[in-house]
């Protein structure tokens, strides 16, 4: 198998998993946060900076790369690793989620999805076979099955039909996947917020022997307690010896709560997207550095952080750069936010190792959110 998961231990206090993900491009300690590099770049960061902050795996988006520059260009470049000069692990999504959330005039049939490019209006088509063809050309270490992610809220009948289609589409993906020896295909469990549909989907998807499984269709607008509940229904039905990936989740609280519920891998655009708007995550909670109150604050962004940004620059300087639309400001806040989440995961792994993740959670939430209440914003 292209990717192998090694379970090292579970936390005696929380049940969380400590593990390692062995990929053709290096080994990654789990639980892990994967920065998102939509267009084969984590916006404003160089691969050297990502390595320096300790990132071993990043994500790229199939839909965006299919539209631009096109998967054939990436194939000719020798695949994503060589195209973007990143020699560590990469995961690509299937394009399904973006087709549903970004494109215009989409039409879903059993065959696949017809849609118009959100850039050019050009009519395009993605199906399980096409998604595999594109992801095989991109060449990531981990590729995702083409699924249908129902919105929230959605009618039960619709969720049921789309969840069943996701299973049929997974079987077509397995058949069409042309690089099984060096690319690991993960299946995606759907089922919306309905317990029986989630459980049925978990049984169906994990009945297909794959190197890993993901939980999709969460963090799509539902309350956080509902997401945690859906995780509690789902992860006990997933095999212990395979990695579990919760798609599109990256707020500090969910990164900890997800691990407590048995998840190993996470990705989200949140830290990089809010950074470019001047919002940062710090050990004292959220700091909106563009606010006027930081105009003469010459202290570091986060006094407890030892990242490049916090070691060298003040809140006042960051505010000035962001207010002036200076690219360097976006780079500094992005660097810090990614570093913060990667460090958070490191602390989570240490707490699992020492069987004290629940204690860590309470202390971290108290410091970050000023409370241990279960529902928070980032
Ligand atoms: Zn920092």
Residue 376 lies inside a defined structural domain of this protein? no
104 known member of a binding site: no
267 has catalytic annotation:
yes
93 has catalytic annotation:
yes
Residue 52 lies inside a defined structural domain of this protein? yes
H or E element, residue 279: strand 279-282
Residue 337 CA to ligand 1 center (angstroms) comes to 7
Specify whether 119 is located in the same domain as 264: yes
CA dist 328 and 242 (Å) reads 40
Residue 377 lies inside a defined structural domain of this protein? no
CA dist 82 and 368 (Å) reads 39
Q: Which domain holds residue 327?
A: 275-369
Specify whether 8 is located in the same domain as 151: yes
pLDDT in tens, 209-260: 999 999 999 999 999 999 999 999 999 999 999 999 999 999 999 999 999 9
CATH for 11? 3.20.20.105
Residue 245 CA to ligand 1 center (angstroms) comes to 26
Q: Which of 82, 11, 57 is nearest to 265 (CA)?
A: 57
Specify whether 174 is located in the same domain as 32: yes
78 known member of a binding site: no
Q: Which of 148, 139, 73 is nearest to 106 (CA)?
A: 148
37 known member of a binding site: no
**What pTM was estimated for this model as a whole?**
0.97
Residue 11 CA to ligand 1 center (angstroms) comes to 28
Specify whether 285 is located in the same domain as 257: no
Residue 338 CA to ligand 1 center (angstroms) comes to 9
336 known member of a binding site: yes
Residue 243 CA to ligand 1 center (angstroms) comes to 29
Q: Which of 29, 93, 141, 359 is catalytic?
A: 93
Instruction: Give every strand in the sheet of 26-30, ordered side by side.
Output: 4-10, 17-23, 26-30
Specify whether 213 is located in the same domain as 280: no
Specify whether 181 is located in the same domain as 253: yes
Question: Of 268, 290, 308, which closes a domain?
Answer: 268
Number of domains into which the chain is organized: 2
Question: Of 232, 249, 268, which closes a domain?
Answer: 268
Q: Which of 141, 253, 264, 267 is catalytic?
A: 267
196 known member of a binding site: no
pLDDT 10s digit of each residue in the chain, 378 long?
799 999 999 999 999 999 999 999 999 999 999 999 999 999 999 999 999 999 999 999 999 999 999 999 999 999 999 999 999 999 999 998 988 888 777 899 999 999 998 889 899 999 999 999 999 999 999 999 999 999 899 999 999 999 999 999 999 999 999 999 999 999 999 999 999 999 999 999 999 999 999 999 999 999 999 999 999 999 999 999 999 999 999 999 999 999 999 999 999 999 999 999 999 999 999 999 999 999 999 999 999 999 999 999 999 999 999 999 999 999 999 999 999 999 999 999 999 999 999 999 999 999 999 887 766 666
Specify whether 175 is located in the same domain as 316: no
Specify whether 254 is located in the same domain as 354: no
Q: Which residues contact 97 (CB under 8 A, 6 or more apart)?
A: 63, 149, 216, 247, 248
What pLDDT shows up at residue 176?
98
190 known member of a binding site: yes
307 known member of a binding site: yes
Residue 378 lies inside a defined structural domain of this protein? no
CA dist 273 and 330 (Å) reads 10
Residue 86 lies inside a defined structural domain of this protein? yes
Residue 318 CA to ligand 1 center (angstroms) comes to 12
Specify whether 252 is located in the same domain as 307: no
Token pair of 86 as six digits: 């990143």
Specify whether 81 is located in the same domain as 228: yes
Residue 268 CA to ligand 1 center (angstroms) comes to 19
Enumerate the H helices of 53-194 as residue ranges.
62-67, 71-76, 80-83, 96-102, 128-138, 156-176
Residue 374 lies inside a defined structural domain of this protein? no
What pLDDT shows up at residue 231?
98
Specify whether 235 is located in the same domain as 282: no
Specify whether 233 is located in the same domain as 290: no
Question: Of 268, 289, 313, which closes a domain?
Answer: 268
């Amino acid at each position: 198998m292209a990717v192998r998961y090694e379970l090292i231990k579970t936390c005696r206090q929380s049940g969380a998993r400590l593990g390692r993900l062995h990929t053709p491009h290096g080994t990654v300690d789990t639980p892990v946060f994967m920065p998102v590099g939509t267009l084969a770049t984590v916006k404003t960061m160089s691969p050297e900076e990502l390595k320096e902050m300790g990132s071993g795996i990043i994500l790229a988006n199939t839909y965006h790369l299919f539209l631009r520059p096109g998967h054939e260009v990436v194939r000719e470049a020798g695949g994503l690793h060589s195209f973007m000069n990143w020699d560590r692990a990469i995961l690509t999504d299937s394009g399904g989620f973006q087709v549903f959330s970004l494109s215009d005039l989409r039409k879903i049939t059993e065959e696949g999805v017809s849609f118009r490019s959100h850039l050019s209006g050009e009519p395009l088509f993605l199906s399980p076979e096409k998604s595999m063809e594109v992801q095989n050309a991109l060449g990531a270490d981990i590729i995702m099955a083409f699924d249908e992610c129902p919105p929230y809220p959605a009618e039960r009948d619709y969720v049921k039909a789309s969840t069943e289609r996701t299973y049929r589409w997974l079987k077509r993906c397995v058949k069409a996947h042309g690089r099984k020896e060096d690319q690991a295909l993960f299946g995606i469990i759907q089922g919306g917020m309905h317990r029986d549909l989630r459980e049925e989907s978990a049984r169906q998807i994990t009945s297909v022997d794959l190197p890993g499984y993901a939980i999709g269709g969460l963090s799509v607008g539902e309350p956080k307690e509902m997401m945690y509940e859906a995780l509690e229904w789902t992860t006990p039905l997933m095999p212990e010896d395979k990695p579990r990936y919760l798609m599109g989740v990256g707020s500090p609280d969910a990164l900890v709560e997800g691990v407590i519920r048995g998840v190993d891998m996470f990705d989200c655009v949140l830290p990089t997207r809010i950074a470019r708007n001047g919002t940062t995550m710090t050990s004292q909670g959220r700091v909106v550095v563009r606010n006027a109150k930081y105009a003469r604050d010459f202290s570091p962004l986060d006094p407890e952080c030892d990242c490049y940004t916090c070691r060298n620059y003040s809140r006042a300087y960051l505010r000035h750069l962001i207010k002036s639309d200076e690219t360097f400001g976006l780079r500094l806040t992005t660097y810090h936010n990614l570093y913060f989440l990667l460090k958070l995961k490191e602390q989570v792994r240490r707490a699992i190792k020492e069987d004290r993740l629940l204690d860590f959670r309470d202390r971290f939430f108290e410091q970050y959110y000023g409370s241990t209440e279960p529902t928070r914003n980032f």
